[in-house]
Amino acid sequence: MRTTRQVFLAGALAWAVVGAPASAGNDGDRTGTIPASVPSDRPTWSGEDGASGNPLMTAAAIRAAAADFPNCIERMWPLAARRGVSRASFERLTAHLAPDLRIMDLLDSQPEFTKAVWDYLDVLVNDDRIAKGRAILAKYDKLFDEAERTYGVDRYIIAAIWGVETDYGAQAGNRPVLTSTATLACIGRRQRYFRDEFIAALDILNRGDVRPDKFVGSWAGAFGPTQFMPTAFKRYAVDADHDGRRDVIDSMPDLIASTANNLKKAGWHPAETWGYEVVVPANLDFTLAGRDHTMAIRDWEKRGIVRAGGGAFPRPDDRAFLLVPAGVQGPGFLMLPNFRVIMRYNPSEAYALAIGHLADRLRGGGPFVQAWPRYERVLSRAERLELQQLLERHGFDVGEPDGRMGPKTRDALRDFQVRIGRVPDGFASAGMLERLRDGR
């Protein structure tokens, strides 16, 4: 005999696949109402294969996993029980869950992996966000003072994360976190990762830290103005206002302190910056670029690298790696340990660069000195996937081709550029794709 949840899901799933709205249901708790699984104004799933090419992202695989959604939820009950969630709570919290398949389209189109770095920065570091960030810093000055004293984390970095993640709360998302994490835990290419997020989300609701009607966020399950994933909330959230709840949605003391604690626990170096814009000579050995090669800044200087705009590096013994996101044609950056800490918040170099740059602008710094190669045509996701596949055919290791230009793909491209006598800057230009297509 099927449970009440399975009966509900059998009907709700059919509606979710064609895009009709799922009804909201009361959770039976005085703390609030669990939001609707799929709001009626939400775009529906395209019904197409994902752009990543992952077998779990084919339309057929998505449909099959969606059909198994009730069973998938039930299989996670033992994991929830080990977290102290009672069977009654599990039934109550999952009774009306139905998959939000639109998330499958979003999973393969994150902007930090699909936009040119300069377009990404244009969206996230602009006059409007700088003005809003400075207003936030002034409004909560005492809370930022306390966070800096307690955690040793730069206020401008905290404010920049707030600005980049949600435009200071304006774009925090309205998808139910439980629905998003359940969908991703059962469907698509990152199920193992999101199983932990789903169980953590159940635990958060079970403990009462967040009201169910407030527990909404991004399609990936991040919530609050600085976008905590459920597992990160469990590890880092603090009750700074001492009201008995860790509330990173509506409590500004909890939000600022929890974000600072996250960065501190990730290894933030107090009183240090994230990195420097630098001028990179065209004759540099670009095989030294990338996160795997660090050396003292003074050693980078010996290789001809200078700080953009002139001036000395304040700490020449600091160790840094060289990032050249647009190759020899664009700005270079020497990245310090705090840049890696930012990447633990979101593992994208473009994201971490946006955070660091917005923080500098909030403290009064200017725009980047050097121009981006905006004349370069940005490769589409399909073209980047093709580039990876062609590199593989040429004998270079790119890992699993996924259409993203990660460190492994850039290293492989550098090796190819060395083979053909080009500057090995790892920049995936349209010209490089054509050379790979030509087989030479």
pLDDT digits (tens, 9 = 90+) for 90-104: 999 999 999 999 999
Are 282 and 347 members of one domain?
yes
Summarize pLDDT for 266-323 with one digit per residue, the tens. Answer: 999 999 999 999 999 999 999 899 998 999 999 999 999 999 999 999 999 999 999 9
pLDDT classification of 38: cutoffs 50, 70, 90: low
* 113: amino acid identity, one letter: F
CA–CA dist 108, 188 (Å, integer):
10
pLDDT classification of 380: cutoffs 50, 70, 90: confident
CA torsion through residues 72, 57, 223, 342, sign: positive
Are 356 and 421 members of one domain?
no
Is 45 part of any domain? yes
Is 260 part of any domain? no
Are 349 and 390 members of one domain?
no
Q: Containing domain of residue 294, as a range?
A: 275-362
Q: For residues 292 and 246, is the Cβ–Cβ distance under 8 A?
A: no
Is 268 part of any domain? no
CA–CA dist 235, 130 (Å, integer):
30
CA–CA dist 229, 393 (Å, integer):
38
Q: How many domains does the chain have?
A: 3
Is 196 part of any domain? yes
Q: For residues 286 and 414, is the Cβ–Cβ distance under 8 A?
A: yes
SS3 39: coil
- Whether pLDDT at 189 is above 80: yes
CA–CA dist 55, 52 (Å, integer):
9
Q: What is the DSSP letter of 377?
A: P
pLDDT classification of 34: cutoffs 50, 70, 90: very low
- Whether pLDDT at 9 is above 90: no
Are 88 and 205 members of one domain?
yes
- Beta-carbon count within 10 A of 89 CB: 17
**What ranges make up the beta strands (E) of 87-188?**
175-176
SS3 70: helix
Reduced DSSP (H G I as helix, E B as strand, rest coil) percent helix, strand, coil of the chain, to 5: 50, 10, 40
Boundary residue ending a domain (330, 362, 394) = 362
CA–CA dist 204, 325 (Å, integer):
38
Cα torsion through 322, 160, 124, 134, rounded to 10: -130
* 221: amino acid identity, one letter: G
Cβ-Cβ contacts under 8 Å for 431 (sequence gap 6 or more): none
Summarize pLDDT for 51-73 with one digit per residue, the tens. Answer: 777 899 999 999 999 999 999 99
Q: State the average pLDDT over residues 375-402.
A: 91
CA–CA dist 315, 303 (Å, integer):
17
CA–CA dist 426, 405 (Å, integer):
9
Boundary residue ending a domain (182, 217, 252) = 217
pTM: 0.85
Cβ-Cβ contacts under 8 Å for 267 (sequence gap 6 or more): 337, 340, 341, 344
Share above pLDDT 90 across residues of the chain, in percent, rounded to a whole number: 79
Which residue, chain included where needed, has tokens 């991703």? 184
Q: State the average pLDDT over residues 365-389.
A: 93
Are 329 and 434 members of one domain?
no
Are 179 and 312 members of one domain?
no
Q: Specify the higher pLDDT residue, 276 or 403.
A: 276
Summarize pLDDT for 126-152 with one digit per residue, the tens. Answer: 999 999 999 999 999 999 999 999 999
pLDDT classification of 115: cutoffs 50, 70, 90: confident
Are 316 and 397 members of one domain?
no
Is 306 part of any domain? yes
Is 376 part of any domain? no
Query: Looking at residue 62, what is its pLDDT?
Result: 97
Share above pLDDT 70 across residues of the chain, in percent, rounded to a whole number: 89
Are 355 and 391 members of one domain?
no
Boundary residue ending a domain (328, 362, 396) = 362
Cβ-Cβ contacts under 8 Å for 286 (sequence gap 6 or more): 324, 328, 414, 423, 424, 425, 426
- Whether pLDDT at 1 is above 70: no
SS3 366: coil
Are 79 and 186 members of one domain?
yes
| Average pLDDT of the chain to the nearest whole number | 89
Task: Give the rounded distance of the alpha carbon of 45 from its chain centre.
Answer: 21
Query: Looking at residue 111, what is its pLDDT?
Result: 57
- Whether pLDDT at 114 is above 80: no
Which residue, chain included where needed, has tokens 């001028």? 279
Is 71 part of any domain? yes
Are 84 and 32 members of one domain?
yes
Is 123 part of any domain? no
Summarize pLDDT for 229-273 with one digit per residue, the tens. Answer: 999 999 999 999 999 999 999 999 999 999 999 999 999 999 999
- Whether pLDDT at 21 is above 50: no
Give the burial class of 131: count Cβ atoms within 10 A of its Cβ; 0-12 exposed, 13-18 middle, 19 or more buried: exposed
* Dihedral-angle region of residue 309 (phi above 0 means left; psi in -120 to 50 means alpha; beta otherwise): left
Are 318 and 408 members of one domain?
no
Are 21 and 82 members of one domain?
yes
CA–CA dist 402, 240 (Å, integer):
41
